A = this chain, B = another copy of it.
Amino acid sequence: MQKQPLILITNDDGLNAQGISVLTKCMQKLGQVVVVAPNGARSGSACSITPLVPVTLKLESKEDNLTVYSCSGTPVDCVKLAYEKVVPRRPDLVVSGINHGDNASISLHYSGTMGAVLEACMKGLPAIGYSLRTRASQCDFQPYLEVVEKVADHVLRNGLPQDVCLNVNFPEVPVLRGVSVCRMARGIWQSEWKDTDEPGVFRLTGSFTNLEPDAEDTDYWALDHGMASVTPLGMDMTSYPCFDTLKSLQE
């Protein structure tokens, strides 16, 4: 008998978030599942790691097909710990989410959900991040589960190219209008600080502007039009086209 796929799950909203519970149930249909997730909210933690203080890993539950750990670190720490201290073999797939809040356009750079995905990718593991455009902590994930499973199944069957991972985002709609394989939109965050009662003390907030609202090949366009976006991301951030403009620095 062929071995079941081994699927590692994490997130950045913490082990008790609704999104990771929904994702776990969905992944259990596809294989054996190990969850290693933060023991609380880690929103906006990007690819951050915890080099200065020790990190705790705690077994929360263990059933036949599902093992769950909590971790005091960041989502990236969770992947690193799971990889080295938890899983019995290399996972066939790493999934992160489902995040409460989208990670389309440049928001992916701040995202702990996607930080975990990038980390898995750096370890050579096929990895997918799922995020839902919502501000609610409780929502109906039902409309998205078919696509969640379809993308995971595709990656389990076909793998992903070397150094590539997937950023999947959903609009908050009762029925998805389709799936768009697309690029990151250009965007900008503005008005990012709210004053508090104390001078010199601020709270992070901000409003996002899509800088190319008419570009149909972008993740934001897909979300704005009721579609799920699937954006392949590469780990090599080198900007090759501008080498020529920098050549004089070598002289």
| Contacts A48-B44, A49-B110, A238-B233 given; does A54 touch B202 at CB 8 Å | yes
Please, which residues of chain B bring their CB within 8 A of the CB of A109?
A: 47, 118, 122, 235
Please, which residues of chain B bring their CB within 8 A of the CB of A201?
A: 54-57
Considering the chains assembled together, what is the distance between the CA atoms of A101 and B79 in angstroms? Answer: 23
Considering the chains assembled together, what is the distance between the CA atoms of A77 and B115 in angstroms? Answer: 18
A245 sits at the interface (CB 8 A): yes
Please, which residues of chain B bring their CB within 8 A of the CB of A123?
A: 188
Q: Do residues B122 and A106 form an inter-chain contact, with CB atoms below 8 A? A: yes
A62 sits at the interface (CB 8 A): no
Q: Do residues A193 and B236 form an inter-chain contact, with CB atoms below 8 A? A: no
Interface of A is mostly: mixed
Considering the chains assembled together, what is the distance between the CA atoms of A43 and B123 in angstroms? Answer: 21
**Cβ proximity bits A31-59 to B, threshold 8 Å, 1 near / 0 not:** 00000000001011111111110111111
Copies of this chain, tallied across the complex: 2
Question: Which residue from chain B places its CB closest to the CB of A166 in the assembled complex?
Answer: B246
A132 sits at the interface (CB 8 A): no
Residue of B189, B198, B239, B246 touching A122 (CB-CB under 8 A) = B189
**Cβ proximity bits A104-130 to B, threshold 8 Å, 1 near / 0 not:** 001011101001001000111000000
Q: Do residues B80 and A250 form an inter-chain contact, with CB atoms below 8 A? A: no
Question: Which residue from chain B places its CB closest to the CB of A186 in the assembled complex?
Answer: B163
Q: Do residues B54 and A44 form an inter-chain contact, with CB atoms below 8 A? A: no
Pick the interface stretch among A19-27, A88-96, A174-182: A174-182
Other 11 A-B pairs with CB < 8 A, given A85-B193, A150-B249: A43-B51, A45-B48, A46-B47, A48-B112, A49-B110, A54-B198, A55-B201, A84-B191, A84-B192, A108-B237, A123-B188
Q: List 9 A-B contacts (CB under 8 A).
A: A44-B51, A49-B110, A54-B196, A57-B200, A57-B201, A80-B193, A108-B237, A181-B247, A186-B236
